[in-house]
Each structure stands twice: as C-alpha cells, then as structure tokens.
Structure 1
C-alpha cells in the first residue's frame, strides 16, 4: 500500500511540476484518483501526515523573529486583512445551521495564504530577501501564529493546568543551543530537528494541547541560533515529503460531489477580492503600486493551514465532513491558479502599470526610488559576492562606483562598512527610467536570476543607454540570449574561475622552474 501511495504522489507531482504547478497540487489530485480507484487511507498514512504537520509548524517556529513582525507594514496589513476577513466570515456564517464556531474557523482560515507556494516562488525568483519578499514572509508568519490559535479553538478540548508549563520551554534554550552547536554533522542536525519537533508534539499532547502547537513552541525555542537557516534548509525537503502524506489523506478522505464543486468555485471567485484587499492595504501603508501588486499576488492563495483547520473542525464535529473535501479542492485549485500568475508577476504588472500607479499615495514610499546617484559613473547591480568583488575592483582604481541592491538587510550592512550603496530593484522598470543614465559609463548586472538580468538589459536598450553592459551567465544557453539582447560582454563565473586557476598555477610553476 505504501508503494501505491508514494508512487501515485510522485507521478502526479511530476506531471504538475512539468506544468509549472506546485507538486502538492499533484499530491491532492493523486489522493482523489486513488479514492476513485477504491484505495483507502489507514492509520499509517494518518500518522505520517501528523508528522508532516508537526515538522511544518516546527520550521515556522524556527523563523519567528519578533523584530520582523513588528514592522509597520507587516502589522497593519496583516492585522487589517485578518480583521476584515473575520468580520465578513462572521456575517456569512452567523446562521450556518447553528454551527457558528466551525464556520467562523473555516472562514478565518481562508484568509491565510500559502506559505509553501509563496516561499517557493520567492526563492525560485531570488526575491526572498528583497523588501517585498521579507514583508510577504513576515505576513505569512503572522498568519501562521493566528492559525495556531485557531487550531487550539477548533480542537474544542479543555487543556490541563499543566499546559502553562509549555511557556517555560524558552528556559531550555541554552541546552538546545548547545545540542545544535555540538551536532556538527549534517545528519545529526537533521535528527535533532526531528527529535525536538516530535518531542514538542508529545509534550503538548500530554497536557491536552494540540501536538502542532507543541512543535511550534519547540521551533520558537530554537529560533535565533546562528545555524538555524542551515537546519531549516535540511528540514525543508523532509517536511515536504511527510506533507505529501497529508495532502494524499485529504484526497483519500472523500470525493467532492456536485454541490461541493459549486462551493469550491464560489470560494475561488473570492480570491481576486483577497488580492485586491492586500493591494489596497499595501498602498495604504505607503508602498508603491509595483511592490504592492507583486506582494498581493504572492499572497492571493488559500493556505495549507486551511486544510489542517478544516480537518480539525470536521473531527471536532463542528462542520459536516464534506467541508474537508471542499477546502482541499479549493486550496489545490488556488495554488494551481496562483503559481503561473506569480511566475509572470513582473510582466503582468508592466501591462497593468499605467492603471495601477494612479492609486499610489503621494507620500514618501517605503520602497522609494533613488532620487540621486551623486557623481557615480559606474553601477554595480546586485551586491552579493560577485557584485562586491566588482565594486571593490572599481574602488581600487579610484572609479566613481555605486552599488544597488534590493535586500534591505544587505544594504544596512554595506552602509555600515562605508560602502556607497542605495536601494534598487533591477526588475522595476521605474528604476531605470529614474536613473540619470546619460552620466553612466557602464553597468554590471550580477543578479542570480536570468529573468532579472535579461529584463534589465531590455529596459536599458529601450531607454537607448549608450554605455557598456556587463553581466554573468550560469548556463550555456543564457550567454547567446544575453548577447542578443544587447549585453556588451558576458562571463561564466565558473569558467572564468577555472581559467584563473590554470593561469595562477602556470605562473607559480614557472617561478619554481626559474
């Protein structure tokens, strides 16, 4: 039976990924196909699904940082969005067959956006560290915290007085930090993460609390350790594997009938309203239309947490079992719709830009465009390791160089080191239109994502930039395309590194012979 589950999940996930959709959409579809074929779920699949949820919430806890949640745009947009949706849900479900609690929990959970999809889209495009990427991630974490509270309400269980002892978990942080520091091998770090997540779940169950909350608190306890990002990356793939069991289980639980399918499409029709609400709130706190649009599009989905809460609500008999199938299909289709939209979000905005910029507030924007570049004659866009090396090479020759980067944390560190850098997102067409390009002799583009480099070259050529454009490529097919678009020169970092290694080796050998 396990082979059938895993094989079906893999094949369906492979098909959806080739269609540029998240694999979890395929897992849900595989569950429906297996259900239709007469395959049933059992306790083993349910147990694996529970482990997946615990690992998911543990990794959420690892990312919890109070400072990121206290930013004005995060608190105001995240809180106002949840309040508006809660109010609407309360009105809609007020007379829901007397099952107000279950209806309200489902309604609020539909306000949550997909953490898995948003993070994957931002990581794939290299925008997770940008201003809007950090805001989206922080809002997702804020939603996850509220989701945990909903799970506690939906469980409808009276916790033990000992439950308050879970609040003492932070006192064990020094011990947890020592264990993680002592676990130098990758497999030991991974095992420690699993042990802590499962231990949190067991402790929570012992005191009458959902195991998911215990796993989250364990993650919070470990948050802040220097190796936490490394641990999160190691747990990511394992968590996704176990979550496949959860998505399969949803599909195997029940097939939606005609009435349920109608309800699914009604829920999907509300997605544009959710996107419009996010867009309006981002504009309200002072973001530009472009940043507000791409952020709203990243959040315009239904969340995996809606699947979890619907499952809990149904088990607590607060809603009919059919709602589990309705929410499962609605989440799957919302992700299928959102994935391609997010992939082309910048292009979509370019098409809609004339109409959307009219809604911007006439204030000092948080993501403001640079008003001046001083006397700079050379620009380095993307201040990672490659960009920083180029910047220092210019400085060593006393050239007037300026760095641009979209990562606010990186900018803060560079400014503290005395570097001349400003905020600038290369995919923002308004950036190139604002910069005084006639003063610039040359621009180096070092962004890792090909789309950002190619679109920047297109915009520069459309603006008739007469200077030199240098950039990097990481695949052979990129080089010819970048030259075709108008790049002056293109280098492959790994090829250049090999050439330099050979040159240095030959020089050192010739000196030894001499």
Structure 2
C-alpha cells in the first residue's frame, strides 16, 4: 500500500510540476511531461521508489487518448464530419499513402525486407493525435485553416490505425494467415453498427433520466461508463477502443447534455493524458540511445524531414499559404501513439525484432519531443522572414469624402453603408495584416496611422466632409482626435467610444458626436428580454426610453466630475435610486393611461449615445 501511494505521489508531482515548467520555458506542456517521464523512469529515479513496470503505466495512460477522442467526438457533430469528408479522406489518405511509400522505399534501400519496410513506413506515417491537438490548443491554432486540416489528417489516421493493427499478421515474415478473418470482420462491422444504433436511440434518453435526478456525480459516472463500456466492447471484437470512444462522442454531439458531459470528462482527460505522456517518457530506453545514437538521430531526422515535406506539399496543393503549409507539416511531423501499439503487436507477430522495436519506439518519442522545438524555430524564422511594413501608404487625395480611422468591426459597418450609397470614403488602419486581409474583399483601405498629420493631409482631410473615429484602442483614439481637432478644427468628428471614460475624454477635446459601441445593442437586447418576460410593448418602450434619457443625462453629469472617483461613486448610487423612482413613476403613468414616451433620439449633432 505504501509503495503504491508513493508511486501515485511521484506521478502527481510530475504532472503538477512538468506542465508549468514546460509552459514557462515555452516548450509546451507535452514536452514537459515527456521530460518528467524520463526523470522518474526506470533509468533515473524509478529504482528509488520501486517502479515495477513502465509499460503498465503506458497502457493505463492510453485511456487518456481514449477520453481525448471521446471529447473530440463530442465537438464534432455528424453534419460537420460529413462536411469535412473531402479533407479527411482526400488530404488524410494522400498523406498516409505518400508518407508510407517514401518511408518504405527508404527502408528497402537500407536493406530491409519489403513487407517489413512497408509495415514500418505505415506505422511511422501516423502522427500523434494527443500530442498534435495538445500543441495546437496551447498555441491557439486549432481554429486556423491549417489547424482544421491537421485535425482532418489526424482523424483519418485514427480511422486507418484500426485496420492496420488488425492486419499486422499480414506483414509477418512467415506469411501466416491473418487473425482477422471474414467472420471477425463481419462481427466488427456489426459491433460498430450496434454501437451506433444503441448510442443514437438510447444514450440521450439515459442521460435525460440521470440529469433528472439532479445528482452531478451520477452524470460524471454515466459519462465515464459510456466511454469505458464502448471501449471494452470494441476491444472485445478486436477493434480500437479509441475508435469506439470517438463514435460514442460523435453520437452525443447533438445532445443537449454535450457541454455538461464534456465538462465532467475534461479533468479526467487532462490528467490521464498527462499520465500517458509521462509514461511515454518513462518507456524511453536510454541504453538504446547510448548504443546506437547515430542510427537513432538519422531515423528521427529522416522521419521529421519526410513527413514535414510531404505535408507541406499537400498543404500547398490544398490551398494553404506558404507559412500555414509549413506549420501543418511541422505540427504533424512526429510519430504517433498508435506507432507504439503497432510496434508492440508487430514484435509479438514476428514482423520486427525487439531491438528494432525499441529503436523505433525511442525514435517516435524523440520526434514528439522535437516537434515543439521545431515550432519555436519556425516562429523565429517566420518573424525573420516577415517583411517590415511600409512606413505608410499614400491614399489618393479625395474630395467631399469621408475618412474612416480604424477598419475593424465598427469601421467596416460604416464603410459598407457608405459604399452601398456610393458615398466616397478613405479608410486607414495601422494593422498591415488587417489591411491585407480586407483588401482581398475589394475594400478601399490603406495602411497608415491616422494620428500622423502627413497621412491625414495625404488622405485629403482638408476637403473631407466627415471624420469617423472608429479606433478600438482608447489611447490611440484620443491621440488621433487631438491631431484632427488641432489641425482640422472644422472637420466634423463622429466617434466610437468603448466606455463612459472614453466618452468623457473625447468630450474634453470638443468631440460631441459619440456613440458607445455596445450601448444601442445592449438596449435592443434588453428590449427583447423585457418582451420575453411578458411586459407589455408600451411599458417596454417607455422603460427603454426613460433609461436612455436618464443615462445620457447622467453621462453629462458625470463628465463634470469624472476626475473625482469619490464624487463619481456617490453620483452612481444616487442615480440608481433616481432611475428606480423614474421607472415607478412611468409605470404609474401607464396605469393612468398616459401615452408611452417616444424612443426616438434627438438630433445626432451634439449628442452622445
């Protein structure tokens, strides 16, 4: 009991320490887990706390991969999966076939038997689903185009791993008959169909009954039971537990309990994935590293080079930009966790020897460790290759036009209306990436700082009819307003404000036509909310109009004292009481038959919304 608890303490300590250190060193949590596994493994500290079998830990940690695929299934609705079929079965299949063929050809050139080389090529062509998804999530790249394509490739690889594992005996030197005969294949197909049918019609009803009890622990237990149960059924017929968990998750993707299930599973998934990567690190045979260092480095370098090159080429063929295609190649360049399974089964079936299996397993592990480092190098290269933005673009000098400073969400809406009405405008933005992106859609936008007098003159500020200040950053907005007010005092400024303090600072500069960016949308949402709560239309209209008048009055009252926080706090308290009294009076007036107040706002000139 004491030894078991000691092992649990060691693993928890490794998981708790490795991830923060990995993030701090910017090498990623996964690489931190791998390093921690090496440290606590049998070749370093394992002998001091009676570590019995690192392989058992690895098998236990593989359940984290099963949970990961279940969560992925939850996120992937069947309709979305169908929409991704081209990338999954097109790009994914192309990557697997081309990579396996190239790696097998290299193996044959080095003297390996053809079937053995093909087996190794197929195993090494698989990437690590858990590793790649974790890295992309850490870096916020899952939602990018190359991130979505990477996910499609990984999904195809997970699907392909199942028949590969089943057909390992075909690669055996003795040419024995495969264990997966027609009867077994039929049983596997029927099992998958049965899981889909049961999950489709029973799982949601089961979770509805559990949810009705209101016992959260029962919901968590049901989610884990679903994953473990499907995994056991799949393994019983010789299929992958990971595939079964993915199917189960996908079947629940349309369930109203999807988010609750995901929240319940997430802690177990994260912890078991950490155990998996720590176990991978523990399984590294350091004696192989000492005995065959050059062969090991050659395999790792060749694997990374071949997979990165193939995926880069396929990414370009699929329409990715140069940087995105390079990123796709690096993210999926490592070997995968299914390679560990294939090498283990291949060794058992006599396809490869124990020494070869150990060497390849270590190579896959080191390829995982190399991926975050390659991504860091790619970040440095991307920054070095990125051309310096121009000083500014000189827009054509307009006449009787509108200048829009800031072309984000706010400025683009203004521009779309002006364009539809054929009112000329010149848009300026300080983000070269935003300028390049918007130009693709045919918008007239120029790179430049609207706070520079030379750029404003080049944009024809002297002949402009109006200046729209739509810059998101408050300090930058104030700086631009100062320049425009000082150099073009007759140019009307229509300003966007983030909050009340922003309004007050603009008022200090004499800008009076100001719209708070969320004010009107919040009022409209509140209007719909009150109607949904059952209030009568007249009462809703009057409440919204009263609040708007009161808030604008308070905004101007606050302006007189906005530099004094104590007075502002006192004013806020008294204003809340005053608003409550106004609402009470409005309700009484409605009861007396008064007509509702109009929601129309006064003349925009000199108003604040």
User: Relative to 1, partners in 2 of residues 1:105 and 1:506: Cα closer, same or farther, differing over 3 Å?
Assistant: farther
> Is residue 23 of structure 1 aligned with residue 91 of structure 2?
no
Aligned to 2:585: none
Q: Which of 289, 300, 303 is residue 268 of structure 1 equivalent to?
A: 300
Aligned to 2:145: 131
How much has 1:50 moved relative to structure 2? 4.2
Per-residue displacement from partner, 1:256-315 (whole Å, max 9, x unpaired)? 343443333123312133222222222223333243233333333333333343344334
Q: Which of 146, 150, 157 is residue 143 of structure 1 equivalent to?
A: 157
User: Relative to 1, partners in 2 of residues 1:311 and 1:230: Cα closer, same or farther, differing over 3 Å?
Assistant: farther
C-alpha contact (below 8 Å) 1:196/1:218 kept by paired residues = yes
Partners of 1:43 and 1:290 lie apart in 2 by 39
User: Relative to 1, partners in 2 of residues 1:210 and 1:487: Cα closer, same or farther, differing over 3 Å?
Assistant: farther
Per-residue displacement from partner, 1:327-358 (whole Å, max 9, x unpaired)? 4443443344332543575663354468xxxx
| TM-score, length basis structure 2 | 0.58
Supply the RMSD in Å over aligned alpha carbons.
Answer: 4.8
Aligned to 1:512: 580
Partners of 1:251 and 1:207 lie apart in 2 by 30
SS at 2:255 equivalent: coil
C-alpha contact (below 8 Å) 1:58/1:197 kept by paired residues = yes
How much has 1:508 moved relative to structure 2? 3.4
How much has 1:98 moved relative to structure 2? 7.4
SS at 2:125 equivalent: coil
Aligned to 2:325: 292
> How many residues are matched?
433
User: Relative to 1, partners in 2 of residues 1:45 and 1:282: Cα closer, same or farther, differing over 3 Å?
Assistant: closer
Aligned to 1:179: 206
Per-residue displacement from partner, 1:131-173 (whole Å, max 9, x unpaired)? 3332222222122211233233348644746433312221111
C-alpha contact (below 8 Å) 1:199/1:215 kept by paired residues = no
SS at 1:177 equivalent: helix
How much has 1:229 moved relative to structure 2? 5.6
Gaps of 5+ in 2: 1-6, 170-177, 388-401, 418-430, 462-467, 483-495, 503-515, 519-550, 556-567, 583-609
> Mean alpha-carbon deviation: is it higher for 193-202 or for 98-107?
98-107
C-alpha contact (below 8 Å) 1:283/1:289 kept by paired residues = yes
SS at 1:400 equivalent: helix
> Is residue 152 of structure 1 aligned with residue 170 of structure 2?
no
Partners of 2:377 and 2:577 lie apart in 1 by 51
SS at 2:42 equivalent: helix
Aligned to 2:425: none
Aligned to 1:35: 42
Partners of 2:136 and 2:160 lie apart in 1 by 23
SS at 1:175 equivalent: helix
User: Relative to 1, partners in 2 of residues 1:150 and 1:18: Cα closer, same or farther, differing over 3 Å?
Assistant: farther
Aligned to 1:470: 471
Partners of 1:284 and 1:136 lie apart in 2 by 14
Partners of 2:113 and 2:362 lie apart in 1 by 22
Aligned to 2:188: 163
C-alpha contact (below 8 Å) 1:21/1:336 kept by paired residues = no
How much has 1:199 moved relative to structure 2? 0.6
Aligned to 2:126: 112
User: Relative to 1, partners in 2 of residues 1:225 and 1:512: Cα closer, same or farther, differing over 3 Å?
Assistant: closer
Per-residue displacement from partner, 1:106-127 (whole Å, max 9, x unpaired)? 3223223333343334434444
SS at 2:159 equivalent: helix
Aligned to 1:364: none
Q: Which of 30, 53, 58 is residue 70 of structure 2 equivalent to?
A: 58
Per-residue displacement from partner, 1:209-238 (whole Å, max 9, x unpaired)? 444443344334434435546644653442
User: Relative to 1, partners in 2 of residues 1:492 and 1:101: Cα closer, same or farther, differing over 3 Å?
Assistant: farther
C-alpha contact (below 8 Å) 2:30/2:135 kept by paired residues = no
Question: Following superposition of structure 1 onto structure 2, how do residues 292-331 of structure 1 map, counting pairs within 5 Å?
Answer: 292-331=325-364
Aligned to 1:409: none
> Mean alpha-carbon deviation: is it higher for 336-345 or for 130-139?
336-345
Aligned to 1:337: 370
Partners of 1:101 and 1:346 lie apart in 2 by 39
Question: Following superposition of structure 1 onto structure 2, how do residues 321-470 of structure 1 map, counting pairs within 5 Å?
Answer: 321-342=354-375, 345=378, 348-349=381-382, 351-352=384-385, 377=404, 381=408, 399-401=414-416, 430-431=436-437, 436-438=444-446, 470=471
Partners of 1:95 and 1:291 lie apart in 2 by 32
Aligned to 1:362: none
Partners of 2:231 and 2:210 lie apart in 1 by 22
Q: Which of 230, 236, 243 is residue 200 of structure 1 equivalent to?
A: 230
Per-residue displacement from partner, 1:174-205 (whole Å, max 9, x unpaired)? 21123345554765544333211111122123
> Is residue 90 of structure 1 aligned with residue 104 of structure 2?
yes
C-alpha contact (below 8 Å) 1:250/1:328 kept by paired residues = no
Partners of 1:146 and 1:293 lie apart in 2 by 24
Partners of 1:294 and 1:278 lie apart in 2 by 9
Aligned to 1:475: none
> Is residue 67 of structure 1 aligned with residue 94 of structure 2?
no
How much has 1:99 moved relative to structure 2? 6.9
Partners of 1:487 and 1:269 lie apart in 2 by 56
Partners of 2:92 and 2:377 lie apart in 1 by 24
Aligned to 2:548: none
Partners of 1:181 and 1:191 lie apart in 2 by 14
Partners of 1:297 and 1:487 lie apart in 2 by 45
Aligned to 2:90: 76
SS at 1:36 equivalent: coil
C-alpha contact (below 8 Å) 1:274/1:300 kept by paired residues = yes
C-alpha contact (below 8 Å) 1:40/1:252 kept by paired residues = no
